[in-house]
Amino acid sequence: MMTAGFMIAGGLGSVLRFWLGNLISSRLQGAPFPVSIMLINILGSFMLGIFTSFNMQNQMLSIIIGTGFFGGFTTFSTFSVEAVQLLAEKRLKAGAAYILITMICCIGGFWAGSLL
- Give the model confidence (pLDDT) of 15-31 as tens digits: 999 999 999 999 988 88
Q: How far apart are CA 10 and CA 83, in angstroms?
A: 24
Domain, as residue range, for 46: 2-115
Q: Is 67 annotated as a binding residue?
A: no
Q: Is 71 annotated as a binding residue?
A: yes
Mean residue pLDDT of the chain comes to 93
Instruction: Give the mean model confidence (pLDDT) for residues 67-82.
Output: 95
**Cα atoms in the Cβ-side hemisphere of radius 13 Å centred on 39:** 15
- What predicted TM-score, i.e. pTM, was given to this entire model? 0.91
Residue 2: is its pLDDT beyond 70? yes
- How many separate domains does the chain show? 1
Looking at residue 57, its pLDDT comes to 82
